[in-house]
Amino acid sequence: MRRILLFSGLFLGLGAVLAAFGIGVIGGGSAALAAQPEPWQWTFQPAATPVMENVTQFNNFLLYVVTIITLFVFGLMGYTMWRFRASANPTPSKTSHNTLIEVVWTIIPIVILVVIAVPSFRLLSHVRAIPEAGITVKAVGYQWYWGYEYPDHGGFAFDSLMLEDGERGAQPRLLATDTALVVPVDTNVRLLVTAADVIHSWAMPSFGVKMDAVPGKINEVWFRVNKTGTYYGQCSELCGIRHAFMPIRVEVVSQKKFKAWLKEAQREYGAAFPHTIKLANIETK
């Protein structure tokens, strides 16, 4: 009995220490470049936004908690099988319950859930609170490609189509596109997401962003990329026969390069989409 209570107390103490550590690290993190998934990759892509840094740290914290719980349960099972084996206990115990142990194994899970919930709710609040945006972009899902609009810069729009193997050059297979969503580095980007036909999902793992694109509805999410580079994602909602061929490419560039790209894009795409684009029951010009 005392040994079981000792194990429980040790487990609770370790959980409290890890909780303090986990809650403290949620606000930290360093910049990292994440471009694409790698062969034999076991975990997340390196974080490219503050949100994804926090998601990664919270995931690592939960891994500690799960590991301790697993070791404790297996250790307790092993101890119980050895301590109460038939050869050492020819007359089995007839104990029906133990109030103290029942209270302990009720309180400990409650404490664990609270320890997990506090940083979880803090992270969810951080993700949902959209800060003042430096740029707004609209992503429209089609079967089976993405279209992008820049309402803050004249409303020009263009489509982003997957490149076949003979066209992609050095870009990764099934992730290469003919055009990319271009955004400036160190800038809050407000992303409006919708669809023109069926439900899609705009997902960028290294940004910590995954937002459903629903016909007739505009969802919004935000991200702030802290390092220039090329980032890849994919549609993450089954949307038909070519769902697997609906990649996303985001080019994060310096402010100077973004301004130059804007001028060129306004000339190239401004006249290419002069008509009103109808998205289910939503119209945007």
Q: List pLDDT tens digits, range 114-149.
A: 999 999 999 999 999 999 999 999 999 999 999 999
∠ Cα 142 145 147 (to 5°): 75
pLDDT of residue 39: 83
Asked whether residue 270 falls in the same domain as residue 155, the answer is yes
Per residue in 168-206, pLDDT tens?
888 889 999 999 999 999 999 999 999 999 999 999 999
Asked whether residue 184 falls in the same domain as residue 238, the answer is yes
* Structure-model confidence comparison of residues 45 and 146, the more confident one: 146
Phi, then psi, of 236 in degrees rounded to 5: -120, 30
Asked whether residue 110 falls in the same domain as residue 209, the answer is no
Residue length of the chain: 285
Provide, rounded to the nearest whole percent, the portion of the chain with pLDDT above 70: 82
- Residue by residue, DSSP assigns 146-176 as EEEEEGGGTTEEEEE-BPPTTT-TTSPTTT-
- Average pLDDT taken over every residue of the chain: 84
Provide, rounded to the nearest whole percent, the portion of the chain with pLDDT above 90: 64
Strands 145-150 and 189-195, bridge-based pairing: unpaired
Asked whether residue 107 falls in the same domain as residue 189, the answer is no
Q: Which domain holds residue 153?
A: 135-284
Domain termination site, one of 85, 110, 128: 128
Number of domains within the chain:
2
- For the entire predicted model, the pTM comes to 0.75
Q: Using an 8 Å Cβ cutoff, are 189 and 224 in contact?
A: yes
Residue type, 162: M
Q: Using an 8 Å Cβ cutoff, are 11 and 39 in contact?
A: no
Token pair recorded at residue 228: 């220039």
* Structure-model confidence comparison of residues 285 and 251, the more confident one: 251
